[in-house]
Each structure stands twice: as structure tokens, then as C-alpha cells.
Structure 1
Amino acid sequence: MKILAIDDQQLILLSVEKRLRELGYTIRTADTGQKGIDLFESFIPDLVIVDINMPDMSGLEVVKHIRFIKDSKIPIMVMSGNTNEDVIMDGFTLGIDDYLKKPISLDEMAARIKRKIGAPENTNPIFSEKKEGRMLQKNCVGVVIPCYNEEDRLSSGEFRNFAHQNLGYHLCFVNDGSTDKTLEVLEELRQSNPENISIYDCEKNGGKAEAVRQGTLHLVKDTQLDYIGFLDADLSTDFRDFDDLVKTIETSDFKIVSGSRIARMGANITKESARRIISLTINKIIQTILGMPFKDTQCGAKIMDREIATLMFKDKFITKWLFDVEIFMRMRKHYGKTEAKRLICEQPLKRWIHADGSKLSMKDSVKIVGQLAQIAYTYK
């Protein structure tokens, strides 16, 4: 049994292709609508799976071609993050057989395919019985994780499991000139899932701001990524919280969604007491400089759309640690204060725990005040 899958996002196509091959289907893929139509002519599939939102030719145009130009009754399934009811109804009007809304598990996708065209005769029972719950995301997300001498703190197992389970995510680890075995640890991690994990290696240590900037500029070259964010290597921000940030930006008009560690009822937010006092003081200074009511600009978990990521990370930051504040200042300078407040969402985290071994010392905290003055002067 032959299946043709058409989607402009390689992260999605590779995962779909791998799973269906495991199940015994013969599968061909195309990353544009036109390539999909050309393959349809030569491959003659038993089923077509197509995305809706593709840049050159929409999935509905592909459906029209198959149904009306080729006059084919072959089963067509749409698998898309587009949940607009009018679009879905248009699909069924054109003659699609099923509409799979992302996020969707590979298991559910496989079950719907089997219901429509049956299972291949050569199905491998080992693969057919897998129940991993691996999810195809609504959008593709690139995540930058800056690393400097993280050999002992890097939670390789958690990163590996997340990349394996969440198929729309690409994790880009930036080795910021580490002097320990961080790069070796990262290489081992990358080899476990090369489709979803990559490494950007900086020969010299440039600080967190430049590491995140280089990683972001590397990821924005990948056109399949809808959103780009960053996360601390110590995973002080829980992956579930980061995924919540992504869901917020997917379902809103916000351009940036930033995590906030401000304590609230029901949240597991812990810090060392001294660091907490210093953080509160610095946050007050930052709010004064910004002139905007954001309470925790320094949280190391943020997500933004690719257009904003390109704009905000184009130029080097003037500080090594306070680039988060500079992002907010750049948003204000580019859009104006009122519009910047509308485009940025500060979302409280449910879980955040200070991890031992932080690179930011108490002495560094004192220097921050001077750096904030520099930011205020530069972006005035």
C-alpha cells in the first residue's frame, strides 16, 4: 500500500515517513504542493496526506487538482494545524475523507489510515504495537539552549526524551566555547536524535547573550520553523511550562511570550533567599527603565515568532547577561511603548527551581546595575 505525504515542514515529514515505513507502508514525501502533484502522477498512491498551509500552493489547491483535474476518487486526508471551521468545511466540500487536527499523535494518525485503507500485509508486529504517544505539533518550533561548561548539569535524558516525544520541536544547543567536555556530551545527545537536535559550536566564549543570538540567527535560516525561543540548559524552567508558552503564542496575536517566575498561588517557584531579594530589586530598576509593567524580563524561557526573532537578534547586544532587557527595549524602540506592551505577553510559570551551579555570581549581580544604566542610555 502506497501513501503520498505532502507538507512543507521537514520535521513533520520525516516523522510521518519513519512511522509509516515502520508499519509496512510504502511512502513518498513532497515538501511543496506542486512536487506533491508531480509525485501523484508518477507514484499513483493509495492514499494522500496533505497539509493546508503551504507557501506555494495550499493543500486545498492540491485537493482540487486531484478531485477535479485528475478526477480521482483516491482517499485524501488533511493533516493540519489550521482549525478554522470554514477551511475544514471547504475541505470536505472538495471531497476530502478525513481532517486530522494537529497536534496529533502518530498512533492516532496510523489508526485513521488503517481504518481508511487497511494495514499492509507485511506489517511488522513490533512496530504496529508501539504506543509511544509521540506527538506531531501544530507548528514547528526551534529552541536555542546556550551551554557553557554544562558537562555536569546538562539533563541529557530529559532533552532526549522531549525531542523524541515532540516531533515539531528542533533543539539547537549552542556550545559557547566550553572548556570541559560539554561538546562531547552534546555530540552524544545529537546522535540520539539527529533530525530534531543540532549543535552550533562557538570556538570562543562570548557570553550567554551572544550564544543565544548566534543560535537564533542559525535557526531563522530554517524556513520550516514558525517560532523560535530559548531555554536554559539546566532546565530550571520545566518543559511543560515552555510548551505552555508555545501554546499561548499559537493561539494569540502576541509576538513574544515570556515566562515569569513571579511567585503565585499553586506554582512551584523556588529561589535562594539572597538571590530572590537581589532579583526583586533589579526587577524594580528594570521596570523603571522600560517604562512598561513587565515583572520578570530575565526569565530564561521565551518564545517569539520568526519575524520578531530575526529583527530582535540582528544586531549584537551591548551586555552579556541582560540581553532579555535589551529585547524588551528593542521592541519598545521599534514599535513604540503602547504597541510593544500589546505584542508581549508575560506568562507565569507553574514550575521554576533555581539550579545549583549558576554562572551568575553575587559579584556579577552588583555589576548589573551599571549595565542597566548603560542599557538605559543606549536605548533612550
Structure 2
Amino acid sequence: MSSAIIVIPCFNEEKRLEVLSFRKYILAHPEHQFLFVNDGSSDRTALILDDMQAAVPESFDVLHLSRNQGKAEAVRQGMLQAFHTDVDYAGYWDADLATPLEMIPEFTQQLDQTPQLSLVIGARVKLLGRQIERQQIRHYLGRCFATAASTVLQLPVYDTQCGAKLFRNSLQNQTLFSTRFLTNWIFDVELLARARQLEKFFECDPLENTVYELPLNRWRDVAGSKVKPHDFLKAFFELCSIYWNYLRPSLKKPFATLPVSSVSDAVRKAA
């Protein structure tokens, strides 16, 4: 079975963290681990996470950030730590488990079965036979934003903002997290924009061949979400920043801080 570390960014999740769900999952899937990133929480989140780690240290790990830095940076630091292990895959999942943990094996299966895939992302597509429970206003605002993001990225992606993503552990993917994100709420789009840059500067395979959107069987809005309707307006301004810093035709250099030769060598080895 393929190994994986799932990063769980946590900020004041004391009342929403489903400890029993995580414990039940690792009993069924001991090859998977969870890395909880405590993003400077001011409630009892840190104590709960430390108790989880103490109880099952082989499956739970905790990274404490000294101050709140936002979800994007919490995910980035967690992913860098996960990538520096010998696991096959590393990804991140929302702490509220809007996407059930039971979906993780379907993500790993896609990467197992298709070696050319680099990334699997969840897609909240409301189809017959699937349970996608989402507030109507957030659904329509989300569709407007997804259309704009797809246009900017020039990529037929349906759902950039689903909080369930799994990456193959490779230098190419590590590079995506090598520097702090410019955005916070839509750093998922920024990740794809960085991957587009790798195509341009390092001749990587196109995202159309390496990214797979997996329609979720279940997803639900969880009470206490920190995303508000006005955040969608902020997201459009962040989208403009992504275009200017990553995707404009006149851009002369990539975001990556790793040596060009290192990324190029990784790309050639993966080819």
C-alpha cells in the first residue's frame, strides 16, 4: 500500500476537530499519517493535538506555529515537512472534514494507477448519486470564481478551492511550496499558477496531463466555516495578483528559488 502524509491546518478548531474520526481512520489505514499544523490557535486546539500525538505518535504528528500566519502558510510549512520524509504522497485536507477522510484512498488509488499524474484534487460536483451539500449562495459565487480562475490559468479546472488535494512526492511538487504564497484565500489557484510557470520555464508536462480532478462522493458545508461571502470579492483581487506575478506573457523569471538545474533534472527524470 502507498504511504501518505495528510497535512491538516488548524486554527481554533477546538469545537470542530473530530478526534474520533481521525483515530478510526488510522486504525483502518495504518500506512497513512496525519500532520496537524497548529496555526497559532488561541483556544485549546494545541492541547487537543498534543494529546492526539501522545496517544498515537506513529500516526499523528504536530507542527506548532508560534503565531497565526494564515491557512496558506500553515499548509505550506506542513507540506514542506511532509515532503522531506520518504512517503509516496503528501497532501492537505480541511480540518472540519467537509471532505470525509474515507475519500483519501480514492486519491491515492488515482496516483497509484496513473504514474504520469502529479496531483489529484477533489471536485465538488453535484451529480445524481452523490451527496454534495453546499449553501446555494456559496455554490453560485464559487462557480463564478471557478470560471474566472479557469480563464486566468487557461486550464479547464472545475473546482480549484476544494480543500482536499494529494501530491506525488517529487522535487517538482516540492518546488511549488518553496516560497511563501502571495495570496492566502486562493493559494490553491496560486499553486496551479506556479505549476504553469514550471511548464514555461522548465518544460514540464502540461497540467492537462498531470492533474486529475476527482469528483467527490460526499461533501458538506460545516458550521463555523471561516469563509464569508465578501471573501469572494477579495479573491478576485488576489486573482489579478496571480495573473500579474505568474502568468502575464512578459514575465522573465520564475518564482522558484531552487536552482534551475535541480528542477530541470527532476523534470527529465520524471519524463
Question: Which TM class, normalised by the smaller chain length?
Answer: 0.7 to 0.9
Q: Secondary structure at the match of 2:206?
A: helix
Please state if 1:238 is matched with 2:100.
yes
Q: Which residue matches 2:57?
A: 194
Contact 2:111–2:118 (Cα < 8 Å) also in 1: yes
Q: Which amino acid aligns with 1:329?
A: A
Please state if 1:143 is matched with 2:6.
yes
Percentage of identical aligned residues: 33
Unaligned 5+ runs, structure 2: 248-271
CA deviation after TM superposition for structure 1 residue 310, in Å: 1.0
Aligned with 1:370 (options 213, 237, 254) = 237
Unaligned 5+ runs, structure 1: 1-137
Q: Which residue matches 1:158?
A: 21
Contact 1:164–1:193 (Cα < 8 Å) also in 2: no
1:321-370 CA-partner distances (Å, limit 9, x unpaired): 21110111111110259712101011100101111111111222221111
Aligned with 2:89 (options 218, 224, 227) = 227
Cα distance in structure 2, aligned partners of 1:305 and 1:198: 20
Q: Which amino acid aligns with 1:266?
A: G
Q: Which residue matches 1:314?
A: 178
Aligned with 2:41 (options 169, 173, 178) = 178
Closer, same or farther in 2 for the Cα pair 1:263/1:338, shift >3 Å?
farther
Q: Report the aligned-residue RMSD.
A: 1.3
Contact 2:2–2:108 (Cα < 8 Å) also in 1: no
CA deviation after TM superposition for structure 1 residue 142, in Å: 0.7
TM-score by length of 2: 0.86
Contact 2:145–2:236 (Cα < 8 Å) also in 1: yes
Cα distance in structure 1, aligned partners of 2:197 and 2:174: 16
Q: Secondary structure at the match of 1:379?
A: helix
1:255-276 CA-partner distances (Å, limit 9, x unpaired): 0011100212211001111111
CA deviation after TM superposition for structure 1 residue 170, in Å: 1.1
Q: Which residue matches 2:160?
A: 297
1:179-225 CA-partner distances (Å, limit 9, x unpaired): 111101111211221101000000111111100000011111212x1
Please state if 1:212 is matched with 2:75.
yes
Q: Which residue matches 2:250?
A: none
CA deviation after TM superposition for structure 1 residue 309, in Å: 3.2
Q: Which amino acid aligns with 2:60?
A: I
1:48-71 CA-partner distances (Å, limit 9, x unpaired): xxxxxxxxxxxxxxxxxxxxxxxx
Q: Secondary structure at the match of 2:92?
A: strand
Q: Which residue matches 1:323?
A: 187
Contact 1:163–1:193 (Cα < 8 Å) also in 2: no
TM-score by length of 1: 0.62
Cα distance in structure 2, aligned partners of 1:341 and 1:196: 34
Cα distance in structure 2, aligned partners of 1:338 and 1:190: 39
Closer, same or farther in 2 for the Cα pair 1:221/1:362, shift >3 Å?
same
CA deviation after TM superposition for structure 1 residue 165, in Å: 2.1
Cα distance in structure 1, aligned partners of 2:26 and 2:63: 17
Contact 2:25–2:102 (Cα < 8 Å) also in 1: no
Cα distance in structure 2, aligned partners of 1:166 and 1:178: 28
Cα distance in structure 1, aligned partners of 2:28 and 2:49: 19
Who wins on radius of gyration, i.e. which is larger?
1
CA deviation after TM superposition for structure 1 residue 373, in Å: 0.7
Cα distance in structure 1, aligned partners of 2:28 and 2:84: 24
Cα distance in structure 2, aligned partners of 1:286 and 1:264: 22
Q: Which residue matches 1:115?
A: none
1:84-115 CA-partner distances (Å, limit 9, x unpaired): xxxxxxxxxxxxxxxxxxxxxxxxxxxxxxxx
Q: Which amino acid aligns with 1:228?
A: A
Query: 1:215-294 maps to which residues of 2 (within 5 A)?
Result: 215-223=78-86, 225-252=87-114, 253-294=116-157
